[in-house]
Structure 1
């Protein structure tokens, strides 16, 4: 292994930058050229067909067979003009990755290329080997993919990729996209109903998403020389370098030439696919970076985030680099998250989370703000479950990411507005009085985003015209937390509408006062979820406990919230998932967690027993010979002997704890029930042994001669590029 390490280092230091030259002209000249978007459809479809497809995209209307044939013909012509030979239904199974099965346009029996509408609309991939949580048996292989026209078809290499949902033969969703689309429909209908209390012209509300993707970049040779990175996506061993991120000199610093060339190329490829990447910069940790796009409709944004990761992986290899999306690839350094900026937009051009100079519009703004806070308060535990994973457990509450306690930050100014609204419960409004002025609603500044500071310790922060869900992990499919957020807000808006219209119709209350009365109740009921201070502090953990907020730090237990009565009710009420689908996803998430920890423990055991211990013992034997030589020469060998003892102590700890961890893993594997097995892995394998083994191995790294150490070191991976 030491030989492999130094060979990898030699490769890195002999590399030359792979320069990437952007084509001449403007980004607008090639943006979206590999996506069959609205412009391409308008240009290649008849007016009638385009209108039908546009209605299907905007209103979720079904596309008939004749329209599908016309679209398929246009798509084939467009794709083949760009050298495409195959097509695939591109879907997002519950593995966390994307999936595809390529079929050729060429039909040998007819000697020509063809692509029928039926092939566009539906395919039948084998569903038996994808996670299904017990919905299907292994021998029950049939599953279907169905075209999602709301997300643009695109081209990767020479393959036409058609975004689709993925369902079992019996109809249950086996992917992330199907529940997401249902949640978008639910929040659209609920938010539109509430909008009509203010503006009858609103006919649709769209949930939008702007994700911020953090990632690490290392040389691919150094990556290949670290079995833990290859197998588990993170380093299970590695002593912190003398210099890490403590100088804050990497954050927003100058981008190194090699990474810059990589960034230019992956941005170019993304822009050709219609992914509106806009921002790039260095992040806090060395070798850590971030990119972010323009906001898009949630479904399209989710697809684009998954596609971005695939593009980054492929482009990185051209530059002899490897992208790491794991939430915590390096201990002691900031991990990587994915900040999901979420808002609601009407088809009349209004951002429902944007304060206005109009008092009436500010009341509408407060409705959506307060209803969202109430939804988060009621379903904070479900939101916590939606971002739970083995990788994200390393970040949450680690003073680099929001805590596992779900809270919301809205800033001092909005806090004072809500406090005033709650306090003035007995305000008397006479006929002709300006109710907005009396309640202070007319004073909310339109540029609220400039009047409140940001709170990076808050998992769910209002940032001026949107909410930023900061607790999502870097490697996560954003569809899961966005499905939950859309669903819980839809549920609350429906209940708000029912209560307000009930007050108006049954009690004869003025509409404004009915709305304000309900808002007051929500403000009071959801007050516990609002927190403006330091989410990293122990004081907040203590205060959160007093408020009755959960602080579940591990995935094994956090996933319980996914199948609680409240969670199942909100999913079923809004027709997002059935009990069978919810239970299946819970089972899949537990199994994924177990498998991740099982792989990490196996990698840890292999490295510890087969690489670290032999290296430490061999080096210890060298020192023993040196100590004997010094003694024979009459030279004091006390320090050498002391070093031998310390190496022996740490080596013994590594061996004993590794063997004990293996036994604990065997016992955990014998547990049949998934939840109990996950807890056993969490507590008895990871919790009991991971840190102990790592501590001893990292200490050995300090003692063993650098020339003998088998693993590529942190300083090499993070600083040699």
Structure 2
């Protein structure tokens, strides 16, 4: 029998956390580092040398031979360059293990091959990584051994942000400054810092590794480009929260162990709606730490899946016909002394500070709905958003009955006098207790939903970093707070001014509130009448990054410069084009080399059968009809393949940029769909033994 696991004993054992720092650092050095973490004070090199030495000694005790500045370039994944701790050999031939404060604080990876959107010329190679001391270093154990990973920001030689983290840290400073202004107006003089708290829920699929290797589309693109639905999908909802299969349970156990060791608070795990789909959710953390942890979650899911003979799919829509995967970004604002600015209390109509925060957020989301939608734009999300499974492509805010009623009172009468109470939920079974009932139900169809004491942004794609969405949320809310504070700080009668402002924001931005079914066609029509943007694709969303309104806001709060925004737009257009080009060429390769040859071989078998049956004097009409149907679909497939080749060649010959991305979207994507249609029909007819790749049924039901 295996020894019982004590999670408390292993949690954070590979993290250079506060406990380790207190134990290992001299008191003055520890205090200086804490001041840097909490107040942003600059760390001098002498102090950094001491920290680096102790961090190195601790890491070597954990088995580490190398260190890396672990950063998040604009590739969508993390990057790292490993350096060993060894120094130049001594005369004796031995080496010393060294790690300086300069090496801790700053690294110089080659920046030339990372996306820069024109910020850097190819020949301008220098880039800098800078230690983010607010996110703890950790030791990662894998096939390479043990490596000390130091979370860092990444910028160019001229100071532009080339990563996801730098703008996130800037946005956190912006919202901290404006949130402190706001709570000071309400008499809070004790809180010294306000930090965005984030909890990203991670959805993913698991498939058998051997079957994965037989699908070129999964290998090259992360999703199936062909595939007919099996007789059973998710119709019975029997997979959702169902008993976890033993193979998956073993995988989840090892994932939790790996994550707990590096300080990730993996909390919840369950089966999701689609077969082979699952979810992992952590406890909340500071936004930048939550982003780092989510990258660790994604990397760990992939690594551990391989160890269990499986592959983890993080694509937003790996299988047509069943639910795709998202990443629900739960966001709130917490003071350093534990106050949640999104906590409504038992009587939210009397909680004036909360009502101002709430209406400021309504204003922010309404005024920047296009930008918030863009923050979740991804080629994979184009297949997911707006489908009958995920948030619609239209941004709206769900508040629930209680808060919607309070807002309605403010809009109609100018004053909120009561709040709907929760009451009791009677089960009707004497042996079961009656339950305290929340005042508000949840709405799983809303893209931006208030869920008790936080907002849940449900649009984010499953493989995307949550840095981008949180940069946007932090900054648009900081702007709304600033504008409110500018008004209130200059008013003669604060109570009257705050009352008028809450009423004004509620009235002007009530159109963004929607508590109904976000999946319905009626909502699309209603949103159109309200004037809410319906941005259906990534290429339609990207221009929101470079509107004058967006540039003005981001520059005011020093989150992005105009050049940084324009570069990001360029990178996103290029990434879209590259993603669709890879998918199109993979389809061409599969259709040309696998599917059409397999179907031709099958038609020969059918033709031989027709001849044999006829020669035997029997009725061969069924075989002949089947041969005719397969041949007709094969002809459609060949024509669609030829059309896709022409369109893809035309698209790839265009100059990179917005026009090319739009062409891929308008011409290549429909051509891909036109090729898929007859192939999927063929899969339903052709003998399974003759089909050249595992089916959907093989992939999602045989894990």
TM-score, length basis structure 2:
0.95
- Aligned match of 1:516 in 499, 508, 523? 499
| 23-32 or 266-275, larger mean C-alpha shift | 23-32
- How far apart, CA to CA, are the structure 2 residues paired with 1:257 and 1:227? 28
What is the CA-CA distance between 1:202 and the residue it aligns to?
2.2
What is the CA-CA distance between 1:200 and the residue it aligns to?
2.2
- Aligned match of 1:651 in 634, 640, 644? 634
Output aligned runs, 1:341-356, within 5 Å.
341-356=330-345
Output aligned runs, 1:588-667, within 5 Å.
588-667=571-650
Tell me what 2:442 maps to. 454
- How far apart, CA to CA, are the structure 2 residues paired with 1:443 and 1:397? 32
- Aligned match of 1:122 in 88, 94, 106? 106
Alignment deviations for residues 584-640 of structure 1 (CA, whole Å, 9 cap, x no partner): 111111111111100100110111111100111111111111111222222221121
Alpha-carbon contact 2:228-2:680 (below 8 Å) kept: yes
Tell me what 1:141 maps to. 125
Tell me what 2:135 maps to. 151
What is the CA-CA distance between 1:413 and the residue it aligns to?
1.4
Indicate how the Cα distance of structure 1 residues 424 and 216 shifts in structure 2: closer, same or farther if over 3 A, else same. Answer: same
- 3-state SS in 1 of match to 2:148: strand
What is the CA-CA distance between 1:91 and the residue it aligns to?
0.2
Indicate how the Cα distance of structure 1 residues 713 and 359 shifts in structure 2: closer, same or farther if over 3 A, else same. Answer: closer
- Aligned match of 1:109 in 80, 89, 109? 89
Indicate how the Cα distance of structure 1 residues 357 and 701 shifts in structure 2: closer, same or farther if over 3 A, else same. Answer: closer
- 3-state SS in 2 of match to 1:229: helix
Tell me what 2:429 maps to. none
- How far apart, CA to CA, are the structure 2 residues paired with 1:667 and 1:226? 27
Alignment deviations for residues 374-407 of structure 1 (CA, whole Å, 9 cap, x no partner): 1000000000111001001111000110010000
- How far apart, CA to CA, are the structure 2 residues paired with 1:652 and 1:358? 68
- How far apart, CA to CA, are the structure 2 residues paired with 1:568 and 1:312? 37
- How far apart, CA to CA, are the structure 2 residues paired with 1:295 and 1:572? 29
Alpha-carbon contact 1:355-1:444 (below 8 Å) kept: no
Tell me what 1:49 maps to. 29
- 3-state SS in 2 of match to 1:278: strand
- Aligned match of 1:695 in 664, 677, 680? 677
- Aligned match of 2:215 in 219, 226, 229? 226
What is the CA-CA distance between 1:646 and the residue it aligns to?
1.0
TM-score, length basis structure 1:
0.93
What is the CA-CA distance between 1:662 and the residue it aligns to?
1.3
- How far apart, CA to CA, are the structure 2 residues paired with 1:631 and 1:294? 69
Ranges in structure 2 where 5+ consecutive residues have no aligned partner: 425-435
Tell me what 1:720 maps to. 702
| 91-100 or 694-703, larger mean C-alpha shift | 694-703
Indicate how the Cα distance of structure 1 residues 665 and 106 shifts in structure 2: closer, same or farther if over 3 A, else same. Answer: same
- How far apart, CA to CA, are the structure 1 residues paired with 2:629 and 2:550? 52
Tell me what 2:73 maps to. 93
Tell me what 2:178 maps to. 190
| 61-70 or 222-231, larger mean C-alpha shift | 61-70
2:80 aligned with 1:80: no
Output aligned runs, 1:291-306, within 5 Å.
291-306=280-295
- Aligned match of 1:419 in 408, 412, 415? 408
Equivalenced residue count is 683
- 3-state SS in 2 of match to 1:113: coil
Tell me what 1:537 maps to. 520
Tell me what 2:541 maps to. 558
Tell me what 2:479 maps to. 491
- How far apart, CA to CA, are the structure 2 residues paired with 1:439 and 1:600? 54
- How far apart, CA to CA, are the structure 2 residues paired with 1:702 and 1:399? 24
Alpha-carbon contact 2:217-2:587 (below 8 Å) kept: yes
- How far apart, CA to CA, are the structure 2 residues paired with 1:117 and 1:281? 43
What is the CA-CA distance between 1:674 and the residue it aligns to?
0.8
What is the CA-CA distance between 1:556 and the residue it aligns to?
1.0
Alpha-carbon contact 1:357-1:445 (below 8 Å) kept: no
Alpha-carbon contact 1:362-1:444 (below 8 Å) kept: no
Alignment deviations for residues 279-302 of structure 1 (CA, whole Å, 9 cap, x no partner): 000000110000000011110000
What is the CA-CA distance between 1:525 and the residue it aligns to?
1.1
Alpha-carbon contact 1:449-1:463 (below 8 Å) kept: no
What is the CA-CA distance between 1:70 and the residue it aligns to?
1.1
- How far apart, CA to CA, are the structure 1 residues paired with 2:423 and 2:508? 26
Alpha-carbon contact 1:363-1:441 (below 8 Å) kept: no
What is the CA-CA distance between 1:50 and the residue it aligns to?
1.1
Indicate how the Cα distance of structure 1 residues 617 and 25 shifts in structure 2: closer, same or farther if over 3 A, else same. Answer: closer
- 3-state SS in 1 of match to 2:689: coil
Tell me what 1:440 maps to. 417
Tell me what 2:38 maps to. 58
Alpha-carbon contact 1:143-1:167 (below 8 Å) kept: yes
Indicate how the Cα distance of structure 1 residues 446 and 139 shifts in structure 2: closer, same or farther if over 3 A, else same. Answer: farther
What is the CA-CA distance between 1:670 and the residue it aligns to?
2.6
Tell me what 1:482 maps to. 470
What is the CA-CA distance between 1:108 and the residue it aligns to?
3.4
**What is the RMSD computed on CA atoms of the aligned residues?**
1.7
Tell me what 2:687 maps to. 705
Alignment deviations for residues 482-527 of structure 1 (CA, whole Å, 9 cap, x no partner): 100000000110001001222x2xxx22x22211101111111111
2:268 aligned with 1:279: yes
Ranges in structure 1 where 5+ consecutive residues have no aligned partner: 1-20, 426-437
- How far apart, CA to CA, are the structure 1 residues paired with 2:347 and 2:248? 47
Tell me what 2:460 maps to. 472
Alpha-carbon contact 2:405-2:420 (below 8 Å) kept: no
What is the CA-CA distance between 1:92 and the residue it aligns to?
0.3
Alpha-carbon contact 2:241-2:271 (below 8 Å) kept: yes
Alignment deviations for residues 562-603 of structure 1 (CA, whole Å, 9 cap, x no partner): 111111111111110101100011111111111110010011
